[in-house]
Structure 1
Amino acid sequence: MRSSVTSKTRYFRLYHSVVLSRLHTLLLYHSSPGRNHLFAPKSTSESVQNRPKFDLFTSASASATATHFNYSDFELHTVLETLNCYANDWKVALEFFNWVEAHCGFQHTTQTFNRIVDILGKFFEFDTAWNLIEKMRKNPSSVPDHTTFRVLFKRYVSAHLVKEAIDAFCRLDEYNLRDETSFSNLIDALCEYKHVIEAEELCFKKNRDNECDSKLFGFNVESTKIYNMILRGWFKMKWWGKCREFWEEMDKRGVKKDLYSYSIYMDIQCKCGKPWKAVKLYKEMRKKDIQLDVVAYNTVIHAIGISEGVDMAVRLYKEMVELGCQPNVVTFNTILKLLCENGRYREAHKVLNLMTKKGCEPDIVTYHCFFVCLEKPREILKLFDRMIESGVQPRMDTYVMLMRKFGRWGFLRPVFCLEEDGGPWTEPR
Structure 2
Amino acid sequence: MWVSSIRLASYRNFFKNTQYIRLKSVSSVAELTPYLSDSSSDEQIGNTHMKNNELTNNTVEVNSYWVTEMLNSLREEPNDALSFFRQLKESGFKHDIQTYMAMIRTFCYWGMDMKLDSLFLEVINLGKKGLGFEVSDLFEELVEGLNAEGPNSLVRALDGLVKAYASLRMFDEAIDVLFQTKRCGFGLSVLSCNYLMNRLVECGKVDMAVAVYKQLKRISVSPNVYTYGIVIKALCRKGNFEEAVGVFEEMEKAGESPNEFTYSTYIEGLCSYGRSDLGYDVLRAWKGVNLPLDVYAYTAVIRGFVNEKKLHEAEMVLLDMEEQGMVPDAVSYGAVINGYCTTGNISKALAFHDKMETRGIKSNCVIVSLILQCLCKNGKACDAVDQFSSFKKKGIFLDEVAYNGVIDALCKLGRFEEAEKLLDEMKDKRMTPDIVHYTTLINGYCLHGQILDAMGLFDEMKEKGLKPDIITYNVLAGGFSRNGLVKEAIHLLDHMKEQKLTPTTVTHNVIIEGLCIGGYGEEAEIFFNSLENKSAENYAAMVNGYCELGNTKNAFELFVRLSKQGVLIKRKSRLKLLSSLCLEGEYGKALKLFEIVLSLGDGICKIMCSKLIASLCSAGDMKRARWVFDNLVWRGLTPDVVIYTMMLNGYCRVNRLQEAIYLFDDMKKRGISPDVITYTVMLDGHSKNLKRDRLSSDTRRNDRVRRDTGSVFWSEMNGMELTADVICYTVLIDSHCKSDNIDDAIHLFTEMIDRGLEPDSVTYTALICGYCKQGHVEMAKELVNDMWRKGIQPDSHTIAALHHGIIKAKKLHLRHNNNSAQNRRLSSVILARPKLLHGDDKYSFECEEHILWYENSTYIFADEFRWPHGSVSSLFSALPNMSWLSQFAGSHGLALAFEALAFGSH
Change in Cα spacing, 1:277 to 1:108, as seen in structure 2 (3 Å) is same
Paired residue for 2:177, among 129, 134, 151?
129
Amino acid at match of 1:380: A
Structure 2 contact 311–340 (Cα < 8 Å) conserved: yes
Q: Work out the CA distance in 2 between the residues paired with 1:373 and 1:318.
A: 24
Structure 2 contact 268–300 (Cα < 8 Å) conserved: yes
Give the equivalent residue in structure 2 for 1:392: 431
Paired residue for 2:358, among 298, 319, 323?
319
Unpaired segments of 5 or more residues in structure 1? 1-17, 26-32, 40-56, 207-212
Change in Cα spacing, 1:389 to 1:155, as seen in structure 2 (3 Å) is same
Deviation digits for residues 59-110 of structure 1 (CA, Å, limit 9, x no counterpart): 99623798xx9x8997535443444556756766948976997999999576
Q: Work out the CA distance in 2 between the residues paired with 1:100 and 1:34.
A: 20
Total equivalences in the alignment: 356
Amino acid at match of 2:317: L
Give the equivalent residue in structure 2 for 1:267: 303
Q: Work out the CA distance in 2 between the residues paired with 1:258 and 1:386.
A: 40
Give the equivalent residue in structure 2 for 1:378: 417
Change in Cα spacing, 1:416 to 1:129, as seen in structure 2 (3 Å) is farther
Q: TM-score, normalised by structure 1?
A: 0.62
Give the equivalent residue in structure 1 for 2:531: none
Q: Work out the CA distance in 2 between the residues paired with 1:424 and 1:263.
A: 40
- 3-state SS, counterpart of residue 415 of structure 1: helix
Give the equivalent residue in structure 2 for 1:243: 276
Mean Cα deviation higher: 104-113 or 116-125:
104-113
Change in Cα spacing, 1:263 to 1:132, as seen in structure 2 (3 Å) is same
Alignment of 1:54-203 (within 5 A): 62-63=91-92, 76=112, 77-84=114-121, 94=135, 113-121=158-166, 122-123=169-170, 124-130=172-178, 133-134=181-182, 144-157=188-201, 162-173=206-217, 174-190=219-235, 195-198=237-240, 200-203=241-244
Tell whether 2:46 aligns with 1:22.
yes
Q: Work out the CA distance in 2 between the residues paired with 1:316 and 1:61.
A: 55
Paired residue for 2:460, among 409, 417, 427?
417
Give the equivalent residue in structure 2 for 1:363: 399
Shift of 1:148: 0.8
Q: Work out the CA distance in 1 between the residues paired with 2:184 and 2:447.
A: 58
Shift of 1:365: 2.1
Paired residue for 1:348, among 388, 392, 411?
388
Change in Cα spacing, 1:190 to 1:353, as seen in structure 2 (3 Å) is farther
Q: Work out the CA distance in 2 between the residues paired with 1:172 and 1:355.
A: 50
Structure 1 contact 188–229 (Cα < 8 Å) conserved: yes
Deviation digits for residues 228-264 of structure 1 (CA, Å, limit 9, x no counterpart): 3244335445x3xx33244345556767664223212
Shift of 1:354: 3.8
Amino acid at match of 2:388: A
Structure 1 contact 231–264 (Cα < 8 Å) conserved: yes
Amino acid at match of 1:218: K
Amino acid at match of 2:430: G
Larger RCO (alpha carbons 8 Å, 6+ apart): 1
Q: TM-score, normalised by structure 2?
A: 0.33
Q: Work out the CA distance in 2 between the residues paired with 1:60 and 1:115.
A: 22
Change in Cα spacing, 1:276 to 1:87, as seen in structure 2 (3 Å) is farther
Structure 1 contact 304–313 (Cα < 8 Å) conserved: no
Q: Work out the CA distance in 2 between the residues paired with 1:364 and 1:421.
A: 18
Structure 1 contact 313–335 (Cα < 8 Å) conserved: no
Change in Cα spacing, 1:148 to 1:414, as seen in structure 2 (3 Å) is same
Shift of 1:286: 1.7
Structure 1 contact 118–151 (Cα < 8 Å) conserved: yes
- 3-state SS, counterpart of residue 63 of structure 1: coil
Deviation digits for residues 246-286 of structure 1 (CA, Å, limit 9, x no counterpart): 43455567676642232122223333334343333222222
Q: Work out the CA distance in 2 between the residues paired with 1:185 and 1:178.
A: 10
- 3-state SS, counterpart of residue 244 of structure 1: helix
Shift of 1:367: 1.7
Q: Work out the CA distance in 2 between the residues paired with 1:116 and 1:338.
A: 44
Shift of 1:184: 1.2
Deviation digits for residues 275-314 of structure 1 (CA, Å, limit 9, x no counterpart): 3433332222222222222322333455678464465345
Change in Cα spacing, 1:169 to 1:319, as seen in structure 2 (3 Å) is same
Deviation digits for residues 367-400 of structure 1 (CA, Å, limit 9, x no counterpart): 2321332223222222223223423345555455
Shift of 1:336: 4.9
Q: Work out the CA distance in 2 between the residues paired with 1:424 and 1:338.
A: 29
- 3-state SS, counterpart of residue 431 of structure 2: coil
Paired residue for 1:408, among 435, 447, 459?
447
Mean Cα deviation higher: 297-306 or 146-155:
297-306
Amino acid at match of 1:259: V
Shift of 1:347: 4.1
Structure 1 contact 137–144 (Cα < 8 Å) conserved: no
Q: Work out the CA distance in 2 between the residues paired with 1:272 and 1:153.
A: 27
Change in Cα spacing, 1:269 to 1:166, as seen in structure 2 (3 Å) is closer
Deviation digits for residues 181-230 of structure 1 (CA, Å, limit 9, x no counterpart): 32112223455xxx3324x2422369xxxxxx996773789976445324
RMSD: 5.1
Tell whether 2:332 aligns with 1:296.
yes
Mean Cα deviation higher: 373-382 or 73-82:
73-82
Structure 2 contact 270–276 (Cα < 8 Å) conserved: yes
Structure 2 contact 349–371 (Cα < 8 Å) conserved: yes
Amino acid at match of 2:232: I
Percent identity for Structure 1 against Structure 2: 14
Change in Cα spacing, 1:157 to 1:295, as seen in structure 2 (3 Å) is closer
Q: Work out the CA distance in 1 between the residues paired with 2:145 and 2:258.
A: 51
Deviation digits for residues 98-142 of structure 1 (CA, Å, limit 9, x no counterpart): 69979999995766543421332422214542156549985xxxx
Give the equivalent residue in structure 1 for 2:318: 282
Mean Cα deviation higher: 250-259 or 385-394:
250-259
Shift of 1:329: 3.4
